[in-house]
Amino acid sequence: MSQQNKQSVKVFAPATVANVACGFDIIGLALESTGDEMEIRRSETPGVRITGIEGADLPLEASQNVAGVALQALLQEYGQPELGLEVFIRKLIQPGSGIGSSAASAAGAVAGANILLNNHFSPEALVRFAMEGERLACGTPHADNVAPAIMGGFTLVRSYQPLDVVRLHTPEDLWVTVIHPQIEVKTSDARGILKQQVLLKDAIRQWGNVGALVAGLYREDYALISRSLEDVIVEPIRAILIPAFYDLKLRCKDAGALGGGISGSGPSVFMLSKGENNARAVAAMMEEIYAPLGVDYKIYVSRISTSGVKEI
Catalytic residues: 134, 187
Is residue 80 exposed (0-12), middle (13-18) or buried (19+ Cβ within 10 Å)?
exposed
The whole-angstrom separation of Cα 51 and Cα 290 is: 38
- Look at residues 5, 10, 18 and name the one whose alpha carbon lies nearest to residue 231: 18
Taking the chain, what is the end-to-end CA distance rounded to the nearest angstrom? 15
Query: Interhelix angle for 123-138 vs 101-116, to 10°?
Result: 140
Cβ neighbours of residue 202 under 8 Å, at least 6 residues apart?
232, 233
Cα distances (angstroms) measured from residue 294 to each of 94, 239, 285, 291: 20, 19, 16, 7
For residue 148, whether the previous peptide bond is cis, meaning omega lies within 30 degrees of 0, is no
The answer to whether the beta carbons of residues 41 and 77 sit under 8 Å apart is no
Cα 100 from chain centroid (whole Å): 4
Taking the C-alpha atoms of residue 1 and residue 81, their distance in angstroms, rounded to an integer, is 25
